[in-house]
Every structure is written in structure tokens, then in C-alpha cells.
Structure 1
Amino acid sequence: MTSPTDDGTAIHEDRLWADKGWTARVIKNEDDDGWAVAMYKQGVDEPALVGPWTMGRDKKNPKPLDAGAFNTLVKTASEVLRRHEQHLQATLHQEITVSAGGGRISVRLDITPDDDQPSARLTAVDDSGEELAAVAVSPGFRLNRASAEAWIASDYARPR
């Protein structure tokens, strides 16, 4: 979706608000007789948030967008994107610390997503931050306490 604010111009209409890098569009809810609002971040084709929208006084048309509603929608959509990014980060970068050899070893799994050739790297680091070992693993590798301890016990042989 090309945002109406690509040139920096704000739009404040009853069913379309574009400002602050966001666009809110009030749309007909295809599932029922109501209305929905879709929030788009500038330059992104998919909506960050779609939710129900309030009917107007005539019970047929949607309530017009206003500054307060738009600001609330921006805040909510930003939070949704932030949580999505945090989840993705947690999925792609995992770390477990285990006791081994009289010290603590942090085992890290870093996944590089790619539609054609995803990859992953398993790394062991000691308390002082020195890298003890690093090997390529399948992006489907499951890092947990048992797999980390087994990798350390195998003297960092590449897991199967």
C-alpha cells in the first residue's frame, strides 16, 4: 500500500487519517454489518493492526476518525509491532547458561532466516567472554539445557 503521507502531507478525513508515518483506514467488515479499522505503517503493504470500529449515531455508517482515536490506534499498532519484533528476536537468538567444568558456559543459538537457505550457528562462550567453540547447525536445532549440556559433553562435536 502506498501511504498518502509518502510526501509528508497529513490527511485527516472521516475514514482516512494519515500522519506521523501511519495510515488508518476505516473499512467495511466483510464478516458482518459492522466496520473495522486497519492501521498501516508507512511503506508497509500489510496492516500492523486490524480491529473493530465503532458505528456512528445512525447505526449504519462508521464513527469518523479523530485525533484522539488516531493517536490511540498509532500507540496500539506500534505496540503490536514491538511485540512481534521481540518475539522474532527471541526466536532467532537464544541463549542458555549451564555449569560445566567448574565454570559457567553460555551456549547461544543464532538463526539466520532466509527463504532459500536458512542457517544457524551454535556458539559456546565462557565466563570471560572467550569463544570456546562454534559450529553450524540446522535452523531447526532445539536449544535447551539438555542439548547444551550434551554438546559441551561431546567436546563441542557438531550435533546431529
Structure 2
Amino acid sequence: MNHEDDIDTGDDAARIHEPRLWRDKGWTARVIKNEDGDGWAVEMIRDGSAEPALVGPWTMGRNKVDPKPLDATAHQTLVKTASEVIRRHEQQLHGQLNKQVTVEFESEPLEVRLAITPDEFEPFGTLTALNRFGDVLATTTVRPNFRLSRDSAERWAAGGFGKIRG
């Protein structure tokens, strides 16, 4: 018995340890026939997700026909890889939805932040101005395609932090 079998995940009924299907620790690894041709692929799906976080090639077994069976070590490696893919995607999305610039306003640094809320029906942006102490000086709603730049932040501040049109 290996050490991982000693860890109580709290949901033994959901655990599956089969050669082509391995469900454990919040992830499911499934070995599937490669859609692009010969060979095998493995998909990693995080519990609660409809789509795989990762799909990649899978090693052939010794007979060069069947896939290599999944095991605890392979599953753990796949979990780490799929988790990293998700983390990078979340970082990229965060970067697309959140911007900030620092400008000078009344001889003081002013940080202006733009946060986009990607609502399916009515996406919008929130523009926030903070002083050097992190106090919110102003906030306003903007269109989701608003371009935050040093120039647009300076114009907003110079205009008294009013509503931005357009």
C-alpha cells in the first residue's frame, strides 16, 4: 500500500482507480482514443467543470496498441499540469479584465484602476481613483470597452471625476 492510499479525501465513494479512468483529489483523468489519428490522449477534468482543463497525448503501453494504464504518480503529474494551465488562464483573464495606471494629479500620485465585469448580458467597467494612501477618491461606471491610459485617466481627473460618456 502506498502513502497516498492512507490519505482520507473524505469522499471514498467518488474515488475511481482504473487503468483508463482515475478520479481522485478533485480531478478526473480519462484516457481516450486520439481524435486526430492513431494513439491515445488523456483529458483532465476538474470536479464541477464541464470542459477538460487539459487534453494531451498519452503514452502507448508495452504492446504498442493499448494505452499505458493510469496510476497515482501519473495522475498527480497530470493534476499539477492541469492546475498550472488553469492558473495561467486565470492570470491572463485577470490581466484582460483589470488595468491600472498611475498619473500625477494636483502634484500627488493618483492610481486609476479599471475593472471589467464580464456579465453575459450587460458587461460593464468600473473606474476607480485612489490617492497615495489607497483612499478611494472617486468611482464611476464605464463601458466595458473603455480604454484606460495615462491620457484618459488624466482627463477624468482633470474633469472632476465625472461620469464618462461614450
> Under a length normalisation based on structure 1, what TM-score does the superposition of the two structures give?
0.89
Contact 1:105 1:126 in 2 (8 A): yes
Contact 1:95 1:108 in 2 (8 A): yes
Q: What runs of 5+ residues in structure 1 fail to find an aligned partner?
A: none
Report SS of the residue matched to 2:30. Answer: strand
- Distance in 1 between residues matched to 2:48 and 2:12, nearest whole Å: 12
- Distance in 2 between residues matched to 1:63 and 1:129, nearest whole Å: 55
1:69-100 Cα shifts (integer Å, max 9, x gaps): 11000011111111222222222222211122
Match of 1:117? 122
Q: What runs of 5+ residues in structure 2 fail to find an aligned partner?
A: 1-9
Alignment length (residue pairs)? 156
Contact 1:23 1:41 in 2 (8 A): yes
Match of 2:145? 140
Matched, 1:85 2:90: yes
1:27-49 Cα shifts (integer Å, max 9, x gaps): 01111101110000011110011
Report SS of the residue matched to 1:74. Answer: helix
1:5-42 Cα shifts (integer Å, max 9, x gaps): 97743111111000001000000111110111000001
Matched, 1:21 2:26: yes
Superposition pairs for residues 1-160 of structure 1, below 5 Å?
8-159=13-164, 160=166
1:111-131 Cα shifts (integer Å, max 9, x gaps): 111111111111111112232
Percent identical among aligned pairs is 58
CA RMSD of aligned residues (A): 1.8
- Distance in 2 between residues matched to 1:157 and 1:138, nearest whole Å: 14
